[in-house]
Structure formats: structure tokens, C-alpha cells
């Protein structure tokens, strides 16, 4: 199939893009990398009458450290973030970004585009939710606003972004100190395919090897990524041994609502996610322990 007819506008500035959004209302879409929107348009799952291209806007570029956050512009290419030395400040990027599609996909796909698309099996929405990333927007009528990642995702391909808003940048919290561990796991039919399930953990241990802070979650297990803040809070001040991990994983996966499809049944996905999440907790705990010992020696 081919896309339905549309008008194309190369935005000259962020202000120009926002004016076009306001002018065309619900019948307009922003495009940057186009790795999600273009296939949907080709299959006529999306039929915007107007397309505003923002990928050349300098206002939406850049990777910087700002007030303890790694700030990425909305149209930063995924490959650019993957190769940036500053990305080491968010170590989960280094192990999660290579799972996004293929190299060709990451050469065009953008960081903000992945979040705005809100695929519940995608890697960046899970990392954003896990870390409590702050998402920033701008529009003509409302000006600037922001929300946390867990407030952004409302359902599959459904966010709280207003049709007249443009996602401008994302602030990713940087963890500092010793005793930090992290891990990411994903399973798909083939490398580059959508994840049947994914899991990630990041934690920090104190000098007594007890949990100082912790966050973990799973993707592909419902309409949005899952992050289990209450369970993470329950571990503060306690050692993360195998028994604790088993209990956390069981309680977490019970809260998910995976769907069955051609690739996997819901029970299979639940068991898969349980295995992946347990692995990430074990790997993160071991890495944190190693880091803590290295800093004290």
C-alpha cells in the first residue's frame, strides 16, 4: 500500500513547527526519523493530512549534562546517543540501545520519536519509565510543560501529548556514587524484531551491601512499560539475596497483563519476563557488589 495524500512542511524553526501544529489541529503529525510513522502511513494505519518535518531543527538537537541530568534533544538520533561519550552517564543506554531495531533503524530513528510512539515493547520507553525521565513539551497556547515518563504513557501507542505540542527534550537522571549495578535483558524472535518481553534493573548498594536505591521494570507485558516502585521501596535497607529476588520477581510479574499473539501466549510471556527480570536483578546486584568492593579497596 501507499500512504494517503498529505501536505509536507519542512519546519524552519521550532516556532514555525508549533504554528503549523496549531493551524492544522488534529490532522497534523510531526516527523523526525520516521521509522515508526512512515510504515504506519504506508499501511494507512495513520493518515495525517499534514506532515511537519522537524528533523533539521537545531533547537531539538544536542546531548548535554544539565543539573544532574543527561539532556537529550527530541530529534537526537538513536545512533548518535549510542555513540556519545556522555551516554556513559546512563549506563543502561549502552546495553539497551543496541537492541533497538537494526543499525539502519537507529541511524534514522530518534530518541523523542521512540517515546512519542509509545510502543510498550520498545526499549527507550522502558528505560525512561525505570529511571523516572522528565519529558519536556512546548506549544503555542500552553507554552512549556513537562511530565515524568510514567505519566506520559497511557496505553499502546497512546500518550498524554496534546496534538498541538512538540516534544522538545528529555532529562535522564544520572546516578552517582559507588556500588551501582545495572542490567538489561530482552528476547525477540530475531535480533531487531519487537521484544516478546524485556526487563531492566538498576540499583545501588551501600557499604554494608544493603540496597540504597533500586528500580526495575519490564516491557512488552501490557499496554505500557511496568516499573515497580512500591516493591523497590520495600527493599531499601535490606540485602538483595536470592530469596529476596525470587519474591520481588513473583510479586512484580503478578501485576502484569501480557497479551497472547502469534509470537507468544500470555503464560509464556509471563514466564519469560520472570526469567529475564530475575537475571537482570542478579546481574545488577553482582555488578554493584563488584563496584562497591573496587571503590573501597
Tell me the three state secondary structure of residue 85: helix
> With bands split at pLDDT 50, 70 and 90, how would you rate the model's confidence at 6?
confident
Please indicate, yes or no, whether residues 120 and 19 belong to a single structural domain of this protein.
no
Q: Is residue 2 included in any domain, yes or no?
A: no
Q: Is residue 144 included in any domain, yes or no?
A: yes
Q: Is residue 233 included in any domain, yes or no?
A: yes
Q: How confident is the model over 247-269, as a mean pLDDT?
A: 94
Q: Is residue 105 included in any domain, yes or no?
A: yes
Q: How confident is the model over 133-153, as a mean pLDDT?
A: 96
Average pLDDT, the chain: 94
Indicate if the pLDDT at residue 9 is higher than 90: yes
- Asked whether the CA dihedral 74, 79, 85, 89 is positive or negative, the reply is positive
- Please name the residue that has the C-alpha cell 525477540: 188
> With bands split at pLDDT 50, 70 and 90, how would you rate the model's confidence at 36?
confident
Q: How confident is the model over 78-97, as a mean pLDDT?
A: 96
Task: Please write the tens of the pLDDT for every residue from 239-251.
Answer: 999 999 999 999 9
CA triple 201-197-157, angle to 5 deg? 100
Q: Is residue 113 included in any domain, yes or no?
A: yes
Q: How confident is the model over 262-267, as a mean pLDDT?
A: 90
Looking at the chain, the whole-number percentage of residues with pLDDT higher than 90 is 82
Contacts (Cβ under 8 Å, ≥6 apart) of 38: 3, 31
Domain containing residue 150: CATH number: 3.30.465.10
Q: Is residue 166 included in any domain, yes or no?
A: yes
Q: Answer whether 135's CB lies under 8 Å from 146's CB.
A: yes
> With bands split at pLDDT 50, 70 and 90, how would you rate the model's confidence at 295?
low
Please indicate, yes or no, whether residues 114 and 197 belong to a single structural domain of this protein.
no
Question: How much is the pLDDT for 11?
Answer: 96
- Mean pLDDT lowest among 45-49, 64-68, 120-124, 234-238: 45-49
Q: Answer whether 201's CB lies under 8 Å from 286's CB.
A: no
Question: How much is the pLDDT for 1?
Answer: 66
| Better-scored residue on pLDDT, 263 or 110 | 110
Indicate if the pLDDT at residue 42 is higher than 70: yes
Measured between alpha carbons, how far is residue 126 from residues 33, 179, 210 in Å?
Answer: 20, 23, 25
Convert 39-57 to b/e letters by CB count within 10 Å (16 or more is b). ebbeeeebebebbbebbeb
Domain containing residue 238: CATH number: 3.30.390.50
> With bands split at pLDDT 50, 70 and 90, how would you rate the model's confidence at 190?
confident
Range of the domain at 136: 58-173
Please indicate, yes or no, whether residues 35 and 83 belong to a single structural domain of this protein.
no
Looking at the chain, the whole-number percentage of residues with pLDDT higher than 70 is 98
Domain count, the chain: 3
pTM of the model: 0.94
> With bands split at pLDDT 50, 70 and 90, how would you rate the model's confidence at 294?
low
Question: How much is the pLDDT for 290?
Answer: 87
Question: How much is the pLDDT for 224?
Answer: 96
Please indicate, yes or no, whether residues 190 and 260 belong to a single structural domain of this protein.
yes
Q: How confident is the model over 129-152, as a mean pLDDT?
A: 96
| CA gyration radius, the chain | 20
Q: How confident is the model over 248-270, as a mean pLDDT?
A: 94
| Better-scored residue on pLDDT, 21 or 102 | 21
Amino acid at each position: 500500500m501507499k500512504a494517503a495524500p498529505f501536505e509536507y512542511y519542512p519546519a524552519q524553526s521550532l516556532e514555525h513547527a508549533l504554528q503549523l501544529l496549531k493551524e492544522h489541529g488534529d490532522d497534523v503529525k510531526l516527523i523526525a526519523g520516521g521509522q515508526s510513522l512512515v510504515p504506519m502511513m504506508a499501511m494507512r494505519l495513520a493518515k495525517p493530512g499534514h506532515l511537519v518535518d522537524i528533523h533539521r531543527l537545531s533547537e531539538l538537537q544536542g546531548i548535554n549534562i544539565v543539573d544532574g541530568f543527561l539532556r537529550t534533544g527530541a530529534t537526537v538520533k538513536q545512533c548518535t546517543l549510542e555513540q556519545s561519550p556522555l551516554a556513559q552517564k546512563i549506563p543502561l543506554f549502552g546495553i539497551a540501545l543496541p537492541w533497538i531495531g537494526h543499525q539502519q533503524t537507529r541511524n534514522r530513528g530518534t530518541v523523542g520519536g521512540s517515546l512519542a510512539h509509545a510502543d510498550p515493547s520498545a526499549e527507550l520507553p522502558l528505560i525512561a519509565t525505570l529511571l523516572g525521565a522528565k519529558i519536556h513539551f512546548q506549544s503555542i497556547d500552553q507554552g512549556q510543560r513537562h511530565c515524568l515518563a510514567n505519566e506520559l504513557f497511557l496505553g499502546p501507542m497512546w500518550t498524554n501529548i496534546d496534538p498541538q505540542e512538540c516534544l522538545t527534550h528529555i532529562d535522564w537522571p544520572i546516578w552517582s556514587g559507588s556500588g551501582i549495578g545495572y542490567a538489561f535483558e530482552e528476547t525477540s524472535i530475531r535480533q531487531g524484531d519487537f521484544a516478546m518481553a524485556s526487563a531492566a534493573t538498576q540499583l545501588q548498594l551501600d557499604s554494608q551491601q544493603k540496597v540504597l536505591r533500586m528500580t526495575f521494570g519490564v516491557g512488552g507485558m501490557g499496554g505500557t512499560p511496568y516499573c515497580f516502585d512500591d516493591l523497590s521501596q520495600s527493599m531499601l535497607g535490606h540485602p538483595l539475596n536470592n530469596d529476596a529476588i525470587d519474591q520481588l520477581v513473583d510479586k512484580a510479574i503478578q501485576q502484569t497483563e501480557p497479551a497472547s499473539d502469534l509470537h507468544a501466549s500470555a503464560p509464556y510471556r509471563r514466564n519469560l519476563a520472570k526469567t529475564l527480570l530475575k537475571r537482570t536483578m542478579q546481574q545488577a546486584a553482582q555488578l554493584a557488589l563488584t563496584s562497591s568492593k573496587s571503590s573501597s579497596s
